[in-house]
Copies of this chain bind each other. A is one copy, B any other.
């Protein structure tokens, strides 16, 4: 299955993912650790933004990080090597056609991947077959509909909707975070628990204003400017006003909120 990655693959995007990983590591990953010798599949490792955290937090687990993009894999490989981590192998493959027999992994980890797939349920079923009995799957996804801010602003909401619409047109779902629970239950996982990871940013947290509000979220929306305008989803001046309004929320009296969802399920079958 061909997958169009709505955010593109340029260098700025790579910076964005790196900033995001830096700011959110604790919030998203601090409660994920795998035991020694566990064999863990990271399905859709991208440029390795999460891979280094996973591998660091579970130094004695063995990770197989898979992505369909050759340049992303090269970046991930470099990043893991630069971090001095030796417990990750990389493999180029499609998430729907992974070259592993059933029961290959103790655990599976999937972060910011399902949002880009036309059939996330199918992906989860495919991954479930690769899990040993009682193995866990961990899924982390954002939800662009969880973004709200002060000052509130119509154009800002329009610009965000452009991103969601483009992602939908590419076969993805930018509002998937809220669906992690039903998706995991629907795929037959047991003992599913989902916890929201809300990023609340006001000016008492200048690092988060910079790394999240500006360099992660607003940069992500800004990244679809050309596509949004080309597709006629917003006139340029309206889109740009929306971006300005998002940057406005990074000022002293501004507030920005966004929520990620982390779900864990067990292969009880």
Contacts and interface: CB of A to CB of B under 8 A. Distances in A.
Given A198-B196, A202-B194, A259-B257, A152 B148 contact: no
A152 to B, nearest CB: 6
Given A192-B204, A194-B202, A202-B194, A178 B143 contact: no
Contacts of A179: 150, 255
B181 A255 contact: yes
A258 to B, nearest CB: 11
Contacts of A223: none
A175 B152 contact: yes
A202 B80 CA distance: 36
Interface in A170-191: 175, 178-179, 181-182, 185-186
A264 to B, nearest CB: 12
Contact of A255 (B182, B255, B257): B182
A195 B185 contact: no
Interface string A243-269: 000000000011101010000000000
Interface in A106-160: 143, 145-146, 148-150, 152
Interface of A: 143, 145-146, 148-150, 152, 175, 178-179, 181-182, 185-186, 192-196, 198, 200, 202-204, 253-255, 257, 259
